[in-house]
Amino acid sequence: MRAFDIIRTCLRNLTKRKLRTTLTVSGVLIGTSAIIVMMSLGIGMDREMTKMIEEWADLTMIEVYNYGGRTDQGGEVADITDDVIKEFKALKNVTSVMPVYTNFYVGEQIAVYNTNGKALQWTPLVGVYMDELENFGFKLKEGRFKQPGEPNTTVLFGSEVGEYVILFEEGIDQWGNYQYEYAERDWDTWELLSFPVDHMGDEWYIIPLTMDYNTWRPDYSVIDSPTAPHMDYNEQLNVVGVIEGSWSFYETVRGIFIDISYIKGLIEAYNELNPDNQYAEFDGVYNNVRIRVNDMDNVVAVEDELKAMGYQTWSANEMRENMRQQIMIIQLLLAALAAVSLFVAAMNITNTMIMAIVERTKEIGIMKVLGCDVGKIRIMFLGEAAAIGFLGGVAGIILSLGLSFIINNFLGTLFMGLMGGGGSEAIRISVIPPWLALMALGIAMAVGVVAGLYPAHRSVKISALAAISHE
């Protein structure tokens, strides 16, 4: 008997009992679409959440701290030095390691000013490995990265450096304040429209300052004063580029990136100029290190290794994983509910098939007497059950695509409204990727086949003789 004939026979038997087939298929349809919709909600929630986190967080970055404590083996936690950083870099899946040293604030301990008489304010001076920036994944808004071999006065600006500047040459007013200028901001998009300075066009200098204890403000009068000892440390900065800022790494927006070796000299100069206000010398120990991992799925593993070494870590990914686990639990619960309906559908199929076999006992007997292979009879009934599963699965996919559309277009906006978000942004809380649809179809067919096993077995056991002599 040919496969095609078996399929034809299956379909004929199914279409002969239209109502019964429709009802049985409906059961599978409901079960399948329940599973698809429930899973799609989980997938959609996960995607929305990842998208949301990605907007303000960097999911492949880990921040490492050393608060002391113990390693897993109970040993002393090693201070994070250049050597330890090399160890970090040797960890699997780590692509780059970057110490971040942010003790100095431009506008407080030091001044960065241009020849137009404008000095930067609220700007952290970020000591990093300048030659590692590109490898770490920093993006440029303009200009280029520092080339190896360039002097350590080569710097990059954060994207919004110079948003606010003081006009130090004008002197202070009667209340002790400098005049200031700031950039215009578009308050809808939060974009800066124009800067009071030209990042790469202006001529920039750096100089350590001294606190004026009368005003509790740093004293800018040392700039260009030939007698001030500060002028010995006055150096020109070479701004070669502007970093594409991201609020997930605040310094990329507000900071000036400079080689860590330069900061070391700066601390010494500052301490010399401020005998009453000493800063801790840089002793080669970093308190904050950022690690870049090749893929967000490897972040947890790298974090675990770092924790085993005794360090504290933070990553946006960790939070994402936590949220993800919660979503997965919800998803599993929903899928379990859906599975119940699929189980009912399976019993329904078994019942239908047993009825079909009882009705067709004589027919089966005749077929056996006429030489229909026993195995083919089994396949025929399994095929019928699988076909019910397949039809239910396909119908279930179609129904769930419709439900998903409704959820996203009507409930989605309602949901966003409740969350207080702008209704304008499209949010898809139900996502049906092709693999989900195919998986559901596979499950539906498998349910059909499993539900058909017992009836098919019974059909095989029917005695040909008893069946044909049975009136």
- Amino acid at the residue 444: A
Residue 20 interacts with another protein (CB under 8 A)? no
Residue 55 or 373 with smaller CB distance to another protein: 373
Nearest to another protein of 344, 464 (CB atom)? 464
- Selected from 77, 366, 398, 411, the binder of another protein by CB under 8 A is 366
Q: In 3D, which of 314, 300, 311 has the Cα closest to residue 70? A: 311
φ, ψ of residue 235 to 5 degrees: the values are -140, 150
Q: Which is nearer to another protein, 209 or 367 (CB)?
A: 367
Q: Is the CB of 17 or the CB of 47 nearer to another protein?
A: 17
- How far apart are the C-alpha atoms of 464 and 326, rounded to whole Å? 57
Distance of CA 321 to the CA centre of its chain: 9
- How far is residue 42's CA from residue 402's CA, in Å, rounded to a whole number? 17
Query: Judged by CB, which is closer to another protein: 28, or 367?
Result: 367
367 binds another protein (CB under 8 A): yes
- Please tell me whether residue 370 binds another protein under the rule CB under 8 A: yes
Distance set, CA 158 to CA 118, 135, 183, 242 (Å): 17, 17, 14, 6
| C-alpha pair distances (Å), 405 with each of 337, 425, 432, 444 | 22, 16, 10, 22
- CB-based contact 184:194 (threshold 8 Å): yes
**What is the rounded distance in angstroms from the CA atom of residue 448 to the CA atom of residue 14?**
14
Interface pattern 373-402 for another protein (x via CB under 8 A)? xxxx--------------------------
- Identify which of residues 29 and 462 has a Cβ nearer to another protein in the complex: 462
| Residue 16 engages another protein in binding (rule: CB under 8 A) | yes
19 binds another protein (CB under 8 A): no
Identified binder of another protein from the candidate list 334, 372, 439, 450, rule CB under 8 A: 372
Does position 339 interact with another protein (CB under 8 A)? The reply is: no
Residue 2 engages another protein in binding (rule: CB under 8 A): yes
Q: Identify which of residues 3 and 301 has a Cβ nearer to another protein in the complex.
A: 3
CB of 5 or CB of 198, closer to another protein = 5
Tokens read off for 83: 């050597």
Among 347, 369, 406, 438, contact with another protein (rule: CB under 8 A): 369
The answer to whether 106 contacts another protein (rule: CB under 8 A) is no
**What is the smallest separation between the CB atom of 463 and another protein, expressed in angstroms?**
8
Choose the binding region for another protein from 68-76, 343-351, 364-372, 418-426 (rule: CB under 8 A). Answer: 364-372
Which is it for strands 312-314 and 61-65: parallel, antiparallel or unpaired? antiparallel
Report the site for another protein in 412-471 (rule: CB under 8 A).
464-465, 468, 471
Rounded least distance, CB 18 to another protein, Å? 13
Nearer to another protein, 327 or 377 (CB): 377
Binder to another protein among 118, 146, 368, 428 (CB under 8 A)? 368
Q: Tell me the C-alpha distance between 298 and 318, whole Å.
A: 11
355 binds another protein (CB under 8 A): no
Kindly state whether residue 371 participates in binding another protein, applying the rule CB under 8 A.
yes
Tell me the CB-side half-sphere exposure of residue 417, using CA atoms within 13 A. 7
Candidates 328, 363, 413, 446; binder of another protein (CB under 8 A) is: 363
Asked whether 245 and 160 are in contact (CB, 8 A), the reply is yes
C-beta of 353: minimal distance to another protein in Å? 17
Nearest to 382 by CA among 464, 462, 455, 458: 455
**What b/e string do you get for 177-207 counting C-beta neighbours within 10 Å, with b at 16 or more?**
ebeeeebeeeeeeeebeebbbebeebebbbb
Total of residues contacting another protein (CB under 8 A): 23
DSSP count for the chain of H helices, then E strands:
13, 19
Binding window for another protein (CB under 8 A); candidates: 47-55, 81-89, 214-222, 358-366 = 358-366
34: three-class secondary structure by DSSP: helix
Pick from 117, 13, 37, 112: nearest CA to 401:
37
CA atoms of 290 and 450, how far apart (whole Å)? 53
Residues binding another protein (CB under 8 A): 1-2, 4-5, 12, 16, 362-363, 366-376, 464-465, 468, 471
